[in-house]
């Protein structure tokens, strides 16, 4: 699905990532760990084209992203769902409209998509909050809404940046269960997280590969990739 080949990324004159090579195979489940500032968010952004590597190549669905024009990049973003750490919403719109935004932007017929939207909101447990404005939501509700919005176009890959960082353990497990369900449906999942307890819980439910950024490089289970 996504492949980083000897990727490096520099920012502000300093090297943040170096010689990173990894393949996210179809249907795989990965965790990305490492200390704050190690480059977890940067690596995720490289995976969906928000950043361009300083060196090396990033391929998505067998195509080198460097050659993508604006339309190709837009199509790529429909196949990769991203759960951002900051969970930004449009505060003047009700929750259901916020979740449906990717459908609207991609030109889908909302009349035909209404049943899918309701089903998705039920899946994340937010049906009763459909008319609520984002400022009225709890942290857990915002995270579930962010996940729903990320997967509403049924992407092949789901990238989640610290999706449980601002919620309690019970809500963390609920979000994890949703991500595991997506993986069992055949989606490739990559979660950036520093929560080792969450990773242990996931490995009891799904075959998860744990990647770690250390000293600007990516490692697997303590070994160089």
Q: Could you tell me what percent of the chain has a pLDDT over 70?
A: 98
Which is higher by pLDDT, 74 or 44?
44
**What residues contact residue 33 under an 8 Å CB cut-off, 6+ apart?**
40, 192, 193, 194, 196, 199, 210, 211, 212, 213
Give the per-residue pLDDT at 59.
93
Tell whether the model's pLDDT for residue 224 goes beyond 70: no
CB atoms within 10 A of CB 121: 22
What separation in angstroms does the CA of 168 have from each of 125, 139, 151, 204?
16, 9, 23, 20
Residue owning tokens 């990320």:
150
Q: Between the ranges 28-32, 68-72, 169-173, where is the mean pLDDT highest?
A: 28-32
Q: Is 212 helix (H, G, I), strand (E, B) or coil?
A: strand
> 27: left (phi > 0), else alpha (psi -120 to 50), else beta?
left
Tell whether the model's pLDDT for residue 25 goes beyond 60: yes
User: Would you list the DSSP string of 85-149?
Assistant: TT----TTS-HHHHHHHHHHHTT--HHHHHHHHHHHHHHTT-GGGTT--GGGS-HHHHHHHHHHH
**Angle of helix 196-203 relative to helix 169-184, nearest 10 degrees?**
40
Give the per-residue pLDDT at 19.
92
Give the per-residue pLDDT at 85.
81
Mean pLDDT value across residues 66-95: 89
Give the per-residue pLDDT at 221.
60
Mean pLDDT value across residues 170-178: 86
Give the per-residue pLDDT at 171.
82
Tell whether the model's pLDDT for residue 170 goes beyond 70: yes
pLDDT digits (tens, 9 = 90+) for 107-132: 777 777 788 888 889 888 899 999 99
Tell whether the model's pLDDT for residue 77 goes beyond 90: no
pTM of the entire structure? 0.89
Contact present, 42 and 16 (Cβ < 8 Å): yes
Contact present, 53 and 112 (Cβ < 8 Å): no
Contact present, 60 and 76 (Cβ < 8 Å): yes
Give the per-residue pLDDT at 22.
93
Average pLDDT, the chain: 88
Strand 208-214 and strand 217-220: pairing? Answer: antiparallel
Mean pLDDT value across residues 77-89: 88
Residue owning tokens 């993508």:
68
Enumerate domains of the chain plus CATH numbers. 2-90+156-224 (3.40.50.300)
Tell whether the model's pLDDT for residue 222 goes beyond 50: no
């Amino acid at each position: 699905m996504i492949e980083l080949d000897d990727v490096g990324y520099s920012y502000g004159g300093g090297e943040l990532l170096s010689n990173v090579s990894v393949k996210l195979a179809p249907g795989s489940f990965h965790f990305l760990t490492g200390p704050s500032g190690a480059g977890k968010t940067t690596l995720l952004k490289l995976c969906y084209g928000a950043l361009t590597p300083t060196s090396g190549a990033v391929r998505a669905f067998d195509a080198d992203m460097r050659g993508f024009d604006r339309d190709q990049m837009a199509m790529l973003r429909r196949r990769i769902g991203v759960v951002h750490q900051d969970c930004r919403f449009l505060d003047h719109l009700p929750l259901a409209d916020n979740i449906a935004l990717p459908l609207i932007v991609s030109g889908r017929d909302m009349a035909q998509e209404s049943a899918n939207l309701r089903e998705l909101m039920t899946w994340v447990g937010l049906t009763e909050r459909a008319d609520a404005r984002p400022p009225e939501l709890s942290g857990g509700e915002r995270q579930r809404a962010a996940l729903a919005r990320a997967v509403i176009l049924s992407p092949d890959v789901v990238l989640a940046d610290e999706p449980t960082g601002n919620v309690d353990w019970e809500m963390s497990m609920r979000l994890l269960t949703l991500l595991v369900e997506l993986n069992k449906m055949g989606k490739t999942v990559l979660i950036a997280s520093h929560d080792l307890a969450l990773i242990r819980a996931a490995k009891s439910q799904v075959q998860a590969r744990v990647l770690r950024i250390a000293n600007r490089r990516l490692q697997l289970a303590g070994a160089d990739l």
